């Protein structure tokens, strides 16, 4: 059966629409702000026989771009091996096991077989980040877990809904093992509702165009996405491209973890070899294979956003399994840092390796950390426990066209940070400032964006602070002669004694008391091109705005600015810039 190209375009848009509507329904009905506000969720359609990604919502969290495909594949395998119960109509499986296609335990996947005339036509699946999944730390981001059991409840694929009915026994086991369980029912129903919406819309599409036409279109679309990716890859000259990126530490042993990447471009394919990377680590900075793959896919999608999200696009991307490295974690390695931090370092390695051959598509390194600061304690005023998260952004990398964005979202996320006013309403904290991290953007012809600089005071008697951040040791990398962005800095003032975490960006349960302060400066983005080529007037404007000091203008950019009238000293500038 041949399908005309017009029908293909229409069905492609139709499948995309089904996923976008699932995404929207999930967010609108969800209770957890992580899902409803931060959109830390994703919805997709997967092939019946092998779990290949057919379509995924455009507003889904980027890091889920490859994990759900992996996890649907694993589910199908386990069913075929008789290890998981076979699907009936209206069943929904729940699973969060990281080792069979996940990220961290908080990312809970629902998978629903979509039946058509008594046979499975495809799978619908979604992932939602639950605000808690049990484990040693509220919220799940332990900085120093050494086994997955410390990170929370691990669910193998089981049917949470059997023929459309919620299994209250499984549900009560879950509720007994997680914090703030009373509101979970709202989120579970929202996650279910999104799949039901997807089913309804898919029925509509199949009824209109016919099962066979849609099925054949899916195969063709897979091929066209593959071709599209190949034609983009061909922009890159054949050759070998190398880079490294470093995670500060695993949170337990204070040594940097290296991501060592060798990309080989041959004709229509890109091969990613991470085999020289650090060994599996003791702390929670291990990445499961699904997350490693997903990080590669999302980085490439940041570079070629035009390619539609479907499994065909991944075919030309060959990732060698990085056996015996921290990028291929096996049970019981702890993994809570993989989705938020390690994934971003993998993306950074890919950006750095490819920027010189794709200079207008790739930027210098972005801040690349989710900047997770968690504060837990007892709020005397409301007479209740609290857990607060301050997620923060950082500077983006400079690029061929413009300076990097300030306070951008993490590379793998799309979520907004809450306003200071709402944080102060909800939690016993008082912000002293919330400002640009001055001087943090890596110098360059196009400089990196600036990070965030905030300081807050604890207003309750006892609280514990935890940090899972990164780029505290080395700043985000500059490219093409640009300089690195400034590093992430954490300082905790405990009764007028300033303490800096030994691992710089990671530490768990720092005891704080009333009046203590936490001061965080997030990384700036890397610079792009030589700072000596930066337009003098742009340097001057940045100095006028006190984004860099006069001293920095001289030292970093070779531009001399007179202190009295803030005008450029042309003669000295010429001299300085000649010397480079």
Q: Does 305 bind other proteins (CB under 8 A)?
A: yes
Q: Does 21 bind other proteins (CB under 8 A)?
A: yes
Q: What does the DSSP 8-state code read for residue 137?
A: S
Q: How far apart are CA 524 and CA 518, in angstroms?
A: 19
Q: Does 28 bind other proteins (CB under 8 A)?
A: yes
In DSSP terms, 47 is beta-bridged to 122
Measure CA 44 to chain center: 17
Stretch that binds other proteins, among 165-173, 257-265, 465-473, 541-549 (CB under 8 A): 541-549
Nearer to other proteins, 202 or 406 (CB): 406
Rounded to a whole number of angstroms, the minimum distance from the CB of residue 58 to other proteins is: 6
Q: How far apart are CA 289 and CA 292, in angstroms?
A: 5
Nearer to other proteins, 234 or 513 (CB): 234
Stretch that binds other proteins, among 336-344, 401-409, 497-505, 571-579 (CB under 8 A): 401-409
Q: Does 512 bind other proteins (CB under 8 A)?
A: no
Stretch that binds other proteins, among 18-26, 72-80, 159-167, 252-260 (CB under 8 A): 18-26
Mention every residue, 6+ apart, whose C-beta is less than 8 A from residue 231.
none
Q: Does 266 bind other proteins (CB under 8 A)?
A: no
Binding other proteins by CB under 8 A: which of 79, 236, 357, 414? 414
Q: How far apart are CA 301 and CA 316, in angstroms?
A: 13
Subset of 330-349 contacting other proteins (CB under 8 A): none
Subset of 143-182 contacting other proteins (CB under 8 A): 182
DSSP 171-192: HHHHHHTSSSGGGHHHHHHHHH
Binding other proteins by CB under 8 A: which of 350, 452, 480, 556? 452
Q: Does 421 bind other proteins (CB under 8 A)?
A: yes
- Per residue, what are the HEC states of 357-405? CCCCCCCCCCCCCCCEEEEEEEECCCCEEEEEEECCCECCCCCCCCCCC
Pairing of strands 497-499, 92-95: unpaired
Residue appearing with tokens 């950082």: 394
> Token digits for 578?
């000649």
Binding other proteins by CB under 8 A: which of 83, 266, 320, 416? 416
211 burial type by CB count under 10 A (0-12 exposed, 13-18 middle, 19+ buried): middle
Q: Does 374 bind other proteins (CB under 8 A)?
A: no
Residue appearing with tokens 């610079």: 527
> Token digits for 9?
């375009």
Binding other proteins by CB under 8 A: which of 405, 479, 480, 553? 405
Q: Does 25 bind other proteins (CB under 8 A)?
A: yes
Rounded to a whole number of angstroms, the minimum distance from the CB of residue 525 to other proteins is: 9
Binding other proteins by CB under 8 A: which of 152, 198, 337, 408? 408
Q: Does 297 bind other proteins (CB under 8 A)?
A: no
Q: Does 401 bind other proteins (CB under 8 A)?
A: yes
């Amino acid at each position: 059966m041949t399908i005309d190209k017009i029908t293909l375009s229409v069905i492609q848009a139709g499948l995309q629409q089904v996923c976008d509507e699932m995404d929207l329904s999930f967010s609108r009905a969800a209770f957890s702000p992580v899902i409803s506000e931060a959109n830390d969720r994703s919805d997709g359609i997967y092939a019946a026989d092998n779990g290949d990604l057919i379509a995924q919502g455009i507003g889904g969290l980027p890091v889920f771009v490859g994990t759900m495909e992996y996890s649907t594949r694993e589910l199908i395998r386990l069913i075929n091996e008789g290890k998981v119960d076979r699907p009936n109509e209206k069943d929904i499986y729940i699973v969060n096991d990281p080792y069979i296609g996940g990220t961290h335990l908080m990312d809970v996947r629902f998978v629903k077989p979509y039946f058509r005339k008594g046979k499975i036509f495809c799978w619908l699946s979604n992932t939602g980040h639950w605000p808690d999944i049990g484990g040693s730390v509220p919220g799940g981001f332990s900085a120093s877990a050494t086994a997955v059991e410390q990170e929370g409840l691990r669910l193998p694929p089981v049917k949470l809904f059997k023929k459309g009915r919620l299994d209250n026994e499984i549900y009560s086991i879950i509720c007994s093992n997680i914090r703030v369980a009373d509101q979970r029912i709202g989120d579970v129903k929202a996650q279910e509702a999104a799949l039901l919406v997807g089913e309804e819309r898919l029925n509509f599409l199949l009824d209109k165009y016919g099962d066979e036409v849609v099925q054949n279109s899916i195969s063709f679309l897979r091929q066209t996405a593959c071709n599209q990716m190949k034609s983009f890859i061909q922009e890159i000259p054949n050759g070998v491209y190398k880079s490294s990126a470093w995670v500060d530490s695993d949170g337990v042993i204070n040594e940097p973890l290296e991501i060592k990447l060798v990309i080989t471009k041959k004709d229509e394919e890109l091969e990613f070899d991470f085999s020289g990377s650090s060994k599996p680590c003791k702390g929670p900075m291990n990445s499961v294979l699904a997350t490693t793959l997903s990080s590669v896919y999302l980085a490439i999608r940041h570079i070629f956003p035009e390619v539609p999200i479907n499994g065909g696009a991944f075919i030309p991307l060959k990732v060698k399994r990085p056996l015996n490295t921290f990028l291929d974690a096996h049970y019981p390695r702890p993994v809570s840092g993989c989705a938020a931090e390690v994934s971003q370092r993998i993306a950074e390695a890919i950006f750095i390796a490819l920027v010189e051959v794709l200079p207008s598509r790739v930027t210098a390194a972005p801040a690349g950390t989710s900047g997770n600061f968690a504060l837990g304690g007892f709020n005397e005023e409301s007479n209740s426990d609290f857990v607060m998260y301050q997620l923060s952004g950082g500077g983006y990398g400079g690029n061929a066209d413009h300076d990097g964005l300030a306070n951008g979202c993490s590379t793998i996320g799309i979520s907004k940070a809450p306003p200071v006013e709402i944080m102060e309403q909800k939690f016993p904290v008082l912000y002293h400032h919330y400002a640009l991290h001055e001087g943090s953007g890596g110098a360059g012809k196009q400089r990196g964006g600036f990070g965030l600089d905030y300081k807050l005071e604890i207003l309750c008697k006892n609280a514990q602070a935890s940090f899972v951040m990164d780029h505290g040791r080395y700043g985000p990398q500059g490219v093409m002669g640009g300089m690195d962005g400034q590093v992430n800095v954490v300082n905790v003032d405990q009764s007028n004694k300033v303490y800096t975490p030994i691992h710089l960006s990671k530490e768990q349960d720092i005891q704080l008391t009333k009046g203590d302060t936490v001061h965080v400066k997030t990384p700036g983005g890397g610079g792009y091109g030589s700072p000596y080529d930066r337009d003098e007037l742009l340097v001057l404007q940045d100095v006028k705005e006190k984004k860099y000091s006069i001293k920095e203008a001289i030292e970093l950019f070779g531009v001399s600015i007179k202190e009295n009238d803030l005008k450029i000293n042309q003669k000295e500038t010429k001299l300085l810039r000649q010397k480079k």
